Structure 1
């Protein structure tokens, strides 16, 4: 990848952003190698899928990679990746590899780099991996009926919220009270596991024809698709690699984003919020920062 700063779609792409992209692409290549080795199905998702179709690579103002896998393939990936990613500097981040990891999906991290969001200070102090990452989401079968699906997702959403409140203390007094009462009787690790089990174990799931990112965004109908849209795979250019996309990518993206081919007037922003990236310094080098020093990192609008 050419690391020189340039303007793409009227947006200035900095050298640092390109270095972040390169670090992420390196992890995508490793991920694809593992999937090819074990014959696992995966697809580009979210902004990564838009980027592939609209830009043949990253959306110029994007700063992450989103991949998704059918639950069966995802579970096998988690199992084999624990061995495949033992070589430094890469790390599989999942609730089975890092204690108190509350997310309903996995991440691959580069431990020789740094990626902080505002909530990362507590993770840093607890010794959690805060390297640059890519996201890997499982998608699960859910009920075809909207009301039944929403009712079931409310359960997942509740336990997911409780897990996040436990790890990242909420500001709301009511949420704090609810969280402390709940965890007086329950463990965090079992609550995280409950999100996973609810997401992948709906009753009689072989009868249903809808799939969703249930463990990541439960109840979000934009992330509910027809199962058949992911039956077949195409390959599409993404920067200097070929990446798997669903045959019905147009239907998938229109359901999630509407008119995804139109370049938005407002460019920038990400689901993670403001981030601090450093491609040259491992996150562990920041472990002695005070909260004030940590917050000051975000004053540098690097990307």
Structure 2
């Protein structure tokens, strides 16, 4: 029998419960986390999800990120951390917290065993040197092309399908699982203590670490979660000074393409 695909509201409720779990773990162990990217924008502009968005992202400073992985890798509950440290078939350079009572298939990408609805957890590091920033981007392109086994089906890379297929053949020389480990290795070299700026290593926009010196509670879906005290500056760097304005109607759609279901 074919499983029933999760509706948008069901999917978001599951993601919200994962976020609450992350918050609870961080509060129990004294770890820092912050709402990030579209989740932070949604909290500020909509007090919840951006209506046409369908995922949750958070940041963690590297020290807290590593402790979180260590704590959660030993967890046997329904919420499991997926990372290159504990999954041989996992190919993202950042971690995800997955609800193992669900299944999720990302259309066009290589399958990941026991994958389900998730929340993305991005580590915050110092700024790599120019050469290594170039290497990070180069490896990211190779990795992305290699894991896109059907790029014409993926909403993000559909127009680049032929190019990605060619690059992916090159990327397979070392394997899809080589690149995220190398990206993570380079990113970990740059401590926050030695840099005035910080961010997720593959982002173009790095942010002054004063934005993250404290956290503030911000409303998201009738609950409250941590955001960086400089959330306005963060959103301005990522989305521009007009981030509070709604985008044109034709841009109000998700960039993700997946099928999520509940396990029987």
Structure-2-length-normalised TM-score: 0.83
The 3-state SS of whatever aligns with 2:74 is helix
- Compute the displacement of 1:174 (Å): 4.3
Q: Which residue of 2 aligns with 1:48?
A: 39
Shift of 1:209: 0.7
2:188 aligned residue (192, 200, 210): 200
Going from structure 1 to structure 2, the CA distance change for 1:83 and 1:210 (only over 3 Å counts) comes to same
Per-residue CA deviations over 1:182-211 (Å, capped at 9, x if unaligned) read: 42xxx6555432111101203x86432111
1:100, 1:167 within 8 Å by CA — same for their partners in 2?
Answer: no
Q: Structure 1 residues 271 and 138, CA, compared in 2 at 3 Å: closer, same or farther?
A: farther
Aligned equivalents of 1:16, 1:234: Cα separation in 2 = 32
- TM-superposed deviation, 1:166: 4.0
Rounded to whole Å, the distance in 1 between the matches of 2:44 and 2:192 is 31
- Deviation of 1:176 after TM superposition, in Å, equals 4.3
- Is contact 1:42-1:70 (8 Å) kept? yes
User: Retained in 1: the 8 A contact 2:98–2:116?
Assistant: yes
- Could you tell me which residue of structure 2 aligns to residue 268 of structure 1? 252
What does residue range 24-35 of structure 1 map to in structure 2 within 5 Å?
A: 24-35=15-26
1:168–1:207 CA distance, 2 compared to 1 (3 A) = same
CA displacement at 1:28 relative to structure 2: 0.7
Q: Distance in 2 between matches of 1:27 and 1:101?
A: 19
SS at match of 2:80: strand
- Residue 207 of structure 2 is matched in structure 1 by 225
Deviations 1:270-300 (Å, cap 9, x if unpaired)? Answer: 343x33233xx32xx7xxxxxxxxxxxxxxx
Q: State the shift of 1:76 in Å.
A: 0.6
Unmatched 5+ stretches in structure 2: 1-5, 152-161
**How large is the RMSD of aligned CA atoms in angstroms?**
2.3
The aligned runs of 1:99-118 (5 Å cut-off) are 99-118=88-107
Instruction: Quote the residue 2:81 is aligned against.
Output: 92
Aligned residues: 245
SS at match of 1:108: strand
Pair 1:265–1:159, CA change in 2 (3 A): closer
2:154 maps to what in 1?
none
Equivalent residues of 2:146, 2:169 under 8 A apart:
no
Contact 1:102-1:160 at 8 Å conserved across structures: no
Aligned to 2:59, what secondary structure does the other structure show?
A: strand
Q: Deviations over 1:161-183 (max 9, x none)?
A: 33344443474464245324x42
Residue number among 265, 272, 277 corresponding to 2:260 in the alignment: 277
Structure 1 residues 167, 226: CA separation in 2 closer, same or farther (over 3 Å shift)? same
